Amino acid sequence: MHIDELVEHWTILDEERDLIAGKRGATRLGFAILLKFYTQYGRFPRGRSELPDEVVEHVAKQVQVLTSELGFYEWSGSTIEYHRNQIRTRLGFRICTTADAAKLTVWLAENVAHAERQPERVREELLKHLREERIEPPTLGRTSRIVASALHSAEVTWSLRIASRLSSETTQRIYALVGIGDETDAAGEESVADHQVSGVDEHRNEKSR
């Protein structure tokens, strides 16, 4: 990572230092990294693997904690949950609720998925919208379900709109092509067969007379 990027995105600002004050060691370093990561991405890192070494070193120098202390920071449990709540409150974000997910699905279907059919592109627009609405992105699995639901909803809406513009005559012709026509053909074949049998019977009757 270039030094300019480190300075721009990972430098602790004066107004952020009051949140860090009072914390020590691994807790101080872990909290500072969570804060800067969330400020940049609108979500928390899923673990140490998402943090480049140069980022950890840059933040560690600022909070005057050894880089190795991050190894003692716990990525699950009450402490990190408390830290997350502190950061959300400070930055004005909130967790994505069930009601939020339903609204997001409708928004995606109406504003994105009706024109964009690639799931990854729809997901990008969802993440951008979440940041604008100050909502923390849900888990990867839940995000994928929201995207899939929006794409399906847009497809159904699109199909209904097309169907509503068709005349009753056109609709009946389509029905005939996909179903009724087959039944008609089958009925026609039976009629021909019946006619052939009837003709044979009539011929036999004439010979017996």
Residues 105 and 153 in one domain: yes
What is the torsional sign of CA 85, 88, 92, 95?
negative
Residues 81 and 147 in one domain: no
Residues 13 and 86 in one domain: yes
Q: Convert the pLDDT of each residue in 105-141 to its tens digit.
A: 999 999 999 899 999 999 999 999 999 999 999 999 9
CA 190: distance to chain centroid?
52
Residues 142 and 191 in one domain: no
* Overall average pLDDT of the 138-145 stretch: 94
Bridge partner list, 147: none
Residues 22 and 62 in one domain: yes
Residues 13 and 82 in one domain: yes
* Total number of domains constituting the chain: 3
Bridge partner list, 177: none
Number of helices (H), then strands (E), belonging to the chain: the values are 10, 2
Domain of 150, in residue numbers: 95-164
Interhelix angle 119-132/140-164, nearest 10 degrees: 110
| Domain finish residue from 92, 121, 148 | 92
Residues 180 and 206 in one domain: yes
| Domain finish residue from 51, 73, 92 | 92
> 204: part of which helix (H) or strand (E)?
helix 181-208
| Domain finish residue from 133, 148, 164 | 164
Residues 57 and 69 in one domain: yes
φ and ψ at residue 191, rounded to 5 degrees: -65, -40
pLDDT at 95 over 80: yes
Residues 155 and 186 in one domain: no
pLDDT at 202 over 60: no
Least confident of 32-46, 93-107, 192-206: 192-206
Angle at 154 between CA 149 and CA 158, to 5 degrees: 150
Distance CA 51, CA 34 (A): 10
Residues 8 and 67 in one domain: yes
pTM of the model: 0.70
Contact predicate 104/137, CB 8 Å: no
Residues 7 and 87 in one domain: yes
Residues 72 and 120 in one domain: no
Distance CA 18, CA 39 (A): 16
